[in-house]
Amino acid sequence: MDAQSLRLEALPLHRSMQVGTTQTDYVLIKISAPTQRSGPQPRLSAVLLLDVSGSMKGNPLAQVKESVARLSSILGDDDALGVVTFSTSAQTVVPIATLGQGSTRRSIERASESLAADGYTNMSAGLSHAALQFPPRASDERQLILLLSDGQPNVGTQTLEGLSGEVAQIKSRSVAVSTLGYGAQHNEDLLLSLSDAGGGRYAYVKDTTMAASSFARALGAQRDVIAEDVALTMAPAPGVEILRVLGDARTSFGEGGLRISLSDMLLGEEIHVVVELKISARRDIGRVRTLKVALGYQPTRAAFAAVDARGQTREPQVLRDEVQIDLTTLPSDEVDPRAKELVVLALTIEQRQKARALFDQRGFAAAIPILEKAKAQVEAVHGGVPPVDSPLHDLHEALLDDLQIAQKAPKPDEYSVLRKTNMDQQMLNTGLNRGVTQNATPSAQHMVIKLQGQLGPPAKARLVFVDGPQHGKVVPMGPECRIGRGRDNDLVLDDALATRRHALIQWVGRGFIAHDLGSSSGTYINGRHIVDDYVLQDGDLIQIGASKLRFERIDGGKPGDADGKGERGDRAKRA
């Protein structure tokens, strides 16, 4: 198998069943992408589609302007960038053009400075206007519309179904769509649906100072798309019925069976699809097939550029597998351990979705027993203890976060932020478990490093634990420090009061800014709860759960100004 091929494996939960019986069972389908690309990265052609309706006035638009100018400088000379805005109508600010030609970068910088906010939100007009910017896609190119909005559409097409259909039409022309939702008022369900239909990703931008890095991650991730037009088709054998696909899968029926449309896949990504079957076993012992599975996809052109150079063609690829079980005379509860954890994960995610639907209706008390049951279900797989080195670990941590939310019963505006914070963790919103996010791809990280490089090296600083389980520990500061209970953080806090992804400290040139990432228990600086981004000063005390950390500048300067004057940044606020 080519190193750049996807991999497909279908596993039944139970390896056998008794002859002559009827039972329901689950099948796990694993789709894995390679972790490394062979051949060159694609050129990126992107249109930044920016909401400039009236709600973007002030600091939100100012940060977007700065982000656009900075993005044009970190993309390569062979990349192309354009800018389209939408409010009541849409307009082309800068036509898409190669950045290394003429004065394209300067044109983008000048045009971004002149952006102004006014009017309503016609997202449909913006999408169609942006789509018209793209010529037919070249073989070494990745085309993307990156939409940022802070509100809900109130002009033109306004429904989730209608806008998702429009995005699907854009994707059929080989143009992907990713979305960024800024602030507390945007419709995260809509933007997530648009990114799914467009083969892209959704991310939440909580603070305006995070806009530039969010843009950079979203653009960088598109360089690491390894397969597009990914679809899974399943055909049951006689006597077998597909009851459902767990999660929010996009399904349809065709000649080959039940079809599931999947988003474009990133390097290192793994998707888990869980299917519930009803099986009526024949009366003869022996090995039988229950399900045929086919995975169709188009390898991204740039990924196969080296293959093309050898004269081979880039045809759509199809992988096949089938599920078989043994029919025996005796009942059996034997399960495939490779499938068990991931089937439990998908079933538990469904319970979590029910609880979060109650959250949306402010039924926090009613959600608690559902979450407690889901938590116990996860722990039961590991003998009644929390999973550690397991695919269930992150879900268990998310359930702990949800229980904190349910017990706190936050006010509507606070809950809106908490909901958005979790929405861009797609593996916890659907049964289609994704093993990587756009934040983690190599090119996404590289783009953020390039962005931060424009600001110069970060000032020398550190965090010192002055109270809590890690008392005395010293943590040197880099350009970014993500803090939380999850194992993927730069600074991991083993504390039930900390959220999985709790806070971020980020170098922004004039100093280090602390952001609360929508935690349920809050981030406190010098005893005050921070809501907006906060420019840290030497000696500030940061409290997260049971841990208290002191921020120390060790280069002789004071944050707030790169020259050491110690002035506050414009967005530094205390709640």
Of 314-318, 450-454, 558-562, least confident by mean pLDDT is: 558-562
Count the alpha carbons within 13 Å of 99 in the hemisphere toward its beta carbon. Answer: 24
pLDDT of residue 543 exceeding 90: yes
Q: Give me Rg for the CA atoms of the chain.
A: 25
Average pLDDT, stretch 276-291?
A: 94
Joined together, the tokens standing for residue 523 give 């981030």
Residue 140's pLDDT is 87
Residue 322's pLDDT is 96
Distance of alpha carbon 479 from alpha carbon 323, whole angstroms = 48
pLDDT band at 384 (very low <50, low <70, confident <90, very high): very high
Strands of the sheet with 199-205, listed across from one edge:
90-98, 80-86, 43-51, 141-149, 175-182, 199-205
Mean pLDDT over all residues of the chain? Answer: 87
Residue 260's pLDDT is 93
Q: Percent of the chain, pLDDT > 90?
A: 56
What are the pLDDT digits (tens) for 462-510? 999 998 889 999 999 988 899 998 888 899 998 888 988 899 998 887 7
Of 310-314, 395-399, 490-494, 550-554, least confident by mean pLDDT is: 310-314
pLDDT band at 135 (very low <50, low <70, confident <90, very high): very high
Residue 409's pLDDT is 93
Average pLDDT, stretch 404-430?
A: 74
Q: What are phi and psi of 483, to 5 degrees?
A: -120, 135
Residue 439's pLDDT is 55
pLDDT of residue 436 exceeding 80: no
Residue in 449, 447, 480 with CA at minimum distance from that of residue 144: 447
pLDDT higher at 323 or 304: 323
What are the pLDDT digits (tens) for 204-231? 888 777 888 889 989 999 999 999 989 9
Cβ-based neighbour number of residue 470 at 10 Å? 17
pLDDT band at 417 (very low <50, low <70, confident <90, very high): confident
pLDDT band at 424 (very low <50, low <70, confident <90, very high): very low
Distance of alpha carbon 280 from alpha carbon 239, whole angstroms = 5
pLDDT of residue 560 exceeding 70: no
pLDDT of residue 426 exceeding 50: no
Q: CB-based burial of residue 1 (10 Å sphere; 0-12 exposed, 13-18 middle, 19+ buried)? A: exposed
* First CA to last CA distance, the chain: 57
Residue 259 CB partners (closer than 8 Å, separation 6+): 231, 232, 233, 251, 252, 253
Q: CB-based burial of residue 106 (10 Å sphere; 0-12 exposed, 13-18 middle, 19+ buried)? A: exposed
* Three-class SS state of 554: coil
Instruction: Please report where in the chains the tokens 């890095």 appear, as a residue.
Output: 213
pLDDT of residue 568 exceeding 60: no
Altogether, the residues listed in the chain come to a count of 575
Residue 314's pLDDT is 58
36 contacts 267 by C-beta, under 8 angstroms: yes
Distance of alpha carbon 380 from alpha carbon 395, whole angstroms = 14
Distance of alpha carbon 55 from alpha carbon 86, whole angstroms = 12
145 contacts 195 by C-beta, under 8 angstroms: no
Of 45-49, 69-73, 242-246, 417-421, least confident by mean pLDDT is: 417-421
pLDDT band at 526 (very low <50, low <70, confident <90, very high): very high
Joined together, the tokens standing for residue 574 give 């205390």
- Distances in whole angstroms, Cα of residue 227 to Cα of each of 45, 134, 161, 174, 201: 17, 20, 25, 12, 14
Of 71-85, 455-469, 533-547, least confident by mean pLDDT is: 455-469
Instruction: Please report where in the chains the tokens 């506050």 appear, as a residue.
Output: 568
Distance of alpha carbon 567 from alpha carbon 479, whole angstroms = 20
Residue 232's pLDDT is 95
150 residue type, one letter: D
Average pLDDT, stretch 258-271?
A: 90
